[in-house]
Amino acid sequence: MIWYILLFLSRAKEDDGPISSKDVAECLKCGRELARAARRRGNELVKSGINLDAYTPGILHFFSGDLPPDLKKASDVSKEILSATKLLQMKMHSSVTPSMFHSYLEQQGVCLRDPFCQPSLITCSSTSKYRSIDGTCNNEEHPEWGRKGAPFTRIAMPRYADGIYTMPVARSGHSLPNPRLLSTRLFADRAIGSRVLTNMNVQFGQFITHDMLFQVMDVTDEGGIQCCLADGRDVLPPEWQNDKCIPITVPDNDPFYRQHDIKCLNFVRSVTTPRDDCSLGHAEQMNTVTSYLDGSAIYGSDKKISSKLRTKSGGRLRQEERTGCIRGFLPSVKDKFAVCDLRNASEPCYLAGDIRINQSPTLAMLHTLLLREHNRIANKLSKLNPLWTDEKLFQEARKIVIAEIQHITYQEWLPTNFGADYLRYYRISPSTLYSRDYNPEANPGVINSFGAAAFRFLHSIISDNIVTCPKTYDKAYLYRLSDYYSNPCLLESDPDSFDDVVRGILASNAGESDPFCTGEITNLLFKSRNQWGMDLIAMDIQRGRDHGIASYNDFREICGLPRARTFQDLANEMSQDRINALQHLYECVDDIDLFVGGALERDMQGSILGYTFQCIVAEQFYRTRIGDRFFYDNGEMPHSFTTDQLKEIKKASMARLICDNTDGVHFVQKKAFEVESAYNPKYKCDDYNNIPYVDLTAWKKPSLDIF
């Protein structure tokens, strides 16, 4: 690979003038060769034995599935583009800064001409009443926006060291602080429970995240990428490392890992993808699911997966029956041990629209509730409209379930976490029956800083344990979260187990919204059969750097705060002890990572977030609503719900979802995301005044309406 660069540089010239088309063509040709050489080298490393060991935290972190062929090809092309961009930068005069180079590319619009990579040419039907599975054609003017495989969007220029793809450095040119050191110093393990929020609140937040975004790590054709010596004893020598390795080194005096002689946490860069216009420029990471809040975690983001999940009868999704249980469970994957971390073959491992479903029993529980909700609705619609086809029943049931998810998110979950007054003031959650805010110029694509930083703050409210409660509520059983990563067996240990988990998640408190994080995620993530695991907070910090997320100070300015010139300028947003800690760890206020700075801000009134994270999260959910043509309360469109139907949809709640889809949960607090209290008591599930139900008779159609 090196000889390509040397040959290229031997012919390169420093020139103040513009780069010629011949230069661009040469860079593209050489970039393609460099990318292909890197791919061959990666495969050879795995073949030579430098691969991920079974039952290690690293391999469980890779339980994300292979990319489908179209996304794999896009990833390969993006590597060629990035190599070509770097070579083109080398041809520029030495006085040209990364910022100047980026401006040049923007002005010139230099693009890759490749049979695969060309501006999207997607044909859409203007008569479709239902959203596509892969997110295409939601926006008829920009049919590629929000699709599976689209690049994340940005609201700030990235801070790659070279302006293209190199990991960021401090303003001085030195390395940024070690992510593991930041985790242990700033995000200590301290058990502080929320006084307001339940663990159902945490779980729904994870579901929303999975519905809207999924960045996957790069892999070789031969398997996962290893960046550490066996068992994390040290970092691999450079000559043995894949060029996508960005391992997290562990300090010698680490309070936890030194007990296990761990010096390295495996970490690999995210898959990248070309821009929609195939232009050269800085790296853009790929979102491998649709960006819309569209139930893709249930239904999948491509036709192949969606078809695999359906029964093709009565509009229902596949489910499996269990002895002693009235309602069904998610179907099983074929090769359980390839997806889950099981102790024996009798333990469940589920199949759903999102492969991450098995990450925890409570996530699988929520998926199961939504599977049952779809089939419950499909069965009722079939009785109301016996002439409807399987496809009609499936699409209508899917449309209703997506609407319920959107309604619960915008009218129940978001206000609980981020403040109802704030959301209404900025029109993030509309208050009228219909909204007419759809804007075809609003890109609903997930903002990179939202997915790689701001929304990851929810990791701080994860609690230590999974709690289960019997129907008598006379006792509670606690299970360590780290004992059940990638193993949802708690849901099926006996016929009552599923409902016990539901009762437990409603009765247990989430963690407090503060920088303190449980050791279950900072020391033991994906630990499998080991005594140690990964550090999710260190990974969050490293992922933000991998994605070139702009600094905390940059986002302060974007969100309307004054740019900090010194650490003390942060005093209005965070406490003095946190400022002192930052000053001790970072050289300069401009170096602070967005995840770190945002997490240390004081919460805003009524919110679990500080000012900067609130700004980013609000921007995302505003775009997610107004950029979705099929959003559930959009009015005056061919696919809009009727007035009677929309009124029923707006009765949906997390409490009703639980009541309708469990066997033995008979009492639920009205606000299921908040703890039971005098202001939020439990009600019987058949108390329809306090826990209204969605009356589906509003969907009964004339007998001729069967398609």
- HEC string for 336-394: HHHHCCCCCCCCCCECCCCHHHHHCHHHHHHHHHHHHHHHHHHHHHHHHCCCCCHHHHH
Dihedrals phi, psi of 638, to nearest 5 degrees? -55, -30
Determine the average pLDDT of the residues in 135-140.
95
User: Per residue in 162-191, pLDDT tens?
Assistant: 999 999 999 999 999 999 999 999 999 887
Determine the average pLDDT of the residues in 616-627.
97
Q: What is the DSSP string of 520-579?
A: HHHT-BT-TTSS--B-HHHHHHHHHHHTTPPPHHHHHHHTTPPPPSSGGGGTTTS-HHHH
Least confident of 63-72, 140-149, 188-197: 63-72
d(CA 355, CA 117): 27
Determine the average pLDDT of the residues in 436-445.
96
Determine the average pLDDT of the residues in 45-62.
79
User: How many Cβ atoms sit within 10 Å of the Cβ of residue 413?
Assistant: 21
Please report which confidence band the pLDDT of residue 1 belongs to, taking 50, 70 and 90 as the band edges. very low
**Quick one: tokens of 504?**
């437990």
What is the reported pLDDT for 473?
84
Query: 67's torsion region: left (phi>0), alpha (psi -120 to 50) or beta?
Result: beta
User: CB under 8 Å to 233, separation ≥6 — which residues?
Assistant: 261, 262, 263, 264
d(CA 553, CA 518): 27
User: How many Cβ atoms sit within 10 Å of the Cβ of residue 568?
Assistant: 12
Least confident of 86-95, 112-121, 575-584: 112-121
Q: Is the pLDDT of residue 40 over 70?
A: yes
What is the reported pTM?
A: 0.95
d(CA 455, CA 526): 21
- Check residue 491 and report its DSSP letter: G
Residue 217 near residue 225, CB atoms below 8 Å: yes
User: Per residue in 14-31, pLDDT tens?
Assistant: 444 567 778 888 888 999
Determine the average pLDDT of the residues in 579-597.
98
Q: Is the pLDDT of residue 60 over 90?
A: no
What is the reported pLDDT for 83?
93
d(CA 674, CA 680): 8
The verdict on whether residue 374 carries a ligand-binding annotation is no
How far is the CA of 492 from the CAs of 229, 363, 668, in angstroms?
37, 14, 22
| Buried b / exposed e along 74-84 (16+ C-beta atoms within 10 A) | bbbbbbbbbbb
Dihedrals phi, psi of 477, to nearest 5 degrees? -115, 135
Output the average pLDDT for the chain: 91
User: Per residue in 353-407, pLDDT tens?
Assistant: 999 999 999 999 999 999 999 999 999 999 999 999 999 999 999 999 999 999 9
d(CA 561, CA 554): 10
Residue 296 near residue 305, CB atoms below 8 Å: no
Residue of 539 and 337 predicted with greater confidence = 539
DSSP H helical ranges for 12-149 = 21-47, 57-61, 69-91, 98-108
| Buried b / exposed e along 325-349 (16+ C-beta atoms within 10 A) | bebbbbbebeebeebbbbeeeebbb
What is the reported pLDDT for 92?
81
d(CA 514, CA 520): 16
DSSP-derived 3-state class of residue 478 = strand
Active site amino acids = 210
Residue of 111 and 164 predicted with greater confidence = 164
What is the reported pLDDT for 377?
98
Determine the average pLDDT of the residues in 672-693.
96
Please report which confidence band the pLDDT of residue 93 belongs to, taking 50, 70 and 90 as the band edges. confident
**Quick one: tokens of 401?**
């379930």
Q: Please choose, from the candidates 267, 223, 217, 218, the residue with its C-alpha nearest in 3D space to the C-alpha of residue 49.
A: 223
d(CA 243, CA 227): 10
d(CA 128, CA 413): 30
Q: Please choose, from the candidates 480, 537, 545, 528, the residue with its C-alpha nearest in 3D space to the C-alpha of residue 189.
A: 537
Q: Is the pLDDT of residue 121 over 90?
A: no
Q: Is the pLDDT of residue 460 over 50?
A: yes
What is the reported pLDDT for 323?
79
Q: Is the pLDDT of residue 206 over 90?
A: yes
Q: Is the pLDDT of residue 12 over 70?
A: no
CA 13 to chain centroid: 43
Residue 87 near residue 321, CB atoms below 8 Å: no
How far is the CA of 635 from the CAs of 139, 622, 639, 645, in angstroms?
16, 17, 9, 12
Q: Would strands 248-249 and 264-265 be described as parallel, antiparallel, or unpaired?
A: antiparallel
Residue 561 near residue 573, CB atoms below 8 Å: yes
Percentage above 90 pLDDT, the chain? 76
**Quick one: tokens of 497?**
């187990």
DSSP-derived 3-state class of residue 435 = strand
Determine the average pLDDT of the residues in 68-87.
92
User: How many Cβ atoms sit within 10 Å of the Cβ of residue 289?
Assistant: 28
Residue 234 near residue 509, CB atoms below 8 Å: no
Cα within 13 Å of Cα(294), Cβ side: 30
d(CA 438, CA 23): 44
What is the reported pLDDT for 118?
62
Radius of gyration for the alpha carbons in the chain, expressed in angstroms and rounded:
25
User: CB under 8 Å to 505, separation ≥6 — which residues?
Assistant: 198, 199, 200, 203, 362, 365, 466, 467
DSSP-derived 3-state class of residue 207 = helix
**Quick one: tokens of 632?**
């559930």
Please report which confidence band the pLDDT of residue 332 belongs to, taking 50, 70 and 90 as the band edges. very high
Site of tokens 């001790």: 584
Q: Is the pLDDT of residue 78 over 90?
A: yes
Least confident of 109-118, 217-226, 267-276, 482-491: 109-118
d(CA 216, CA 451): 12
Q: Is the pLDDT of residue 297 over 70?
A: yes
What is the reported pLDDT for 114?
59
User: Per residue in 259-291, pLDDT tens?
Assistant: 999 999 999 999 999 988 888 899 999 999 999
d(CA 51, CA 443): 39
User: How many Cβ atoms sit within 10 Å of the Cβ of residue 29?
Assistant: 15
Residues in the chain: 707
What is the reported pLDDT for 193?
85
DSSP H helical ranges for 92-218 = 98-108, 179-186, 199-212
DSSP-derived 3-state class of residue 172 = coil
How far is the CA of 348 from the CAs of 58, 331, 357, 591, in angstroms?
22, 9, 12, 45
